[in-house]
Amino acid sequence: MKKILWATALATTQIAGVHLSDKKPVLLTTEAAPANMTTEQATANHEVLYANVWADDMGTTHVSQCVLKGLELNSFAPPASPYYFGFAPEDVQSVVFSVLPKGWYGGWHHAPGPQWVITLSGAWEIQTADGSTLRQGPGEFQFNSDESAHAGTPGAHVGHTAKQVGDVPNVRVIITLKKNPLQTYANKPCVL
């Protein structure tokens, strides 16, 4: 099954009679995904599978597979039927729409801050300092939390590379979060 945007994948036509205004907003949590978990398995459990690009305490970047947990069946826009959703416990700084043209390449860099990157169309690929690669297409997304990346040794790669792949431009939405001085993403493979 082709992967689709997670909000659409979690939509349901069940009627529960629960309205968002009737209860406190449900805040999502995250944890490492079980090995080889598929998008279909995650959504069957009312969870959302995503990738996380992060830096360990030595500054080396990695890719982890994680799941968002805690989605509940609620009505988001009554009288529309309820579906599964939850709120990220984060404040948004900006929402940016971007287009990577065919052939675009971004050399070694780290995210300017914590950000969600959602692929709308086309595809792109990153490579982390540990040699891992992650390719994402429409409906796939990642959390970039590698702002603490640094060279562990002189001349070492810092952060990740990014490039457009395929025959069509890559269209994405980048949701950058406000930096919280009390929150660190360093050395955490799955974090909100």
Q: What is the DSSP letter of 6?
A: H
Q: Is 10 helix (H, G, I), strand (E, B) or coil?
A: helix
DSSP-assigned states of every residue in 12-49: -------BGGGSPPPBPEEEEPPTT--HHHHHHTT-EE
Residue 174: pLDDT band (50, 70, 90) is very high
Q: What would the pLDDT profile of 136-153 be if each residue is shown by its tens digit?
A: 999 999 999 999 999 888
Strand pairing of 48-55 and 141-145?
parallel
> What does the pLDDT read at residue 13?
28
Residue with tokens 């890719």: 63
> What does the pLDDT read at residue 22?
54
Distance CA 75, CA 88 (A): 17
> What does the pLDDT read at residue 23?
59
Distance CA 188, CA 192 (A): 10
Mean pLDDT, residues 48-53 taken together: 96
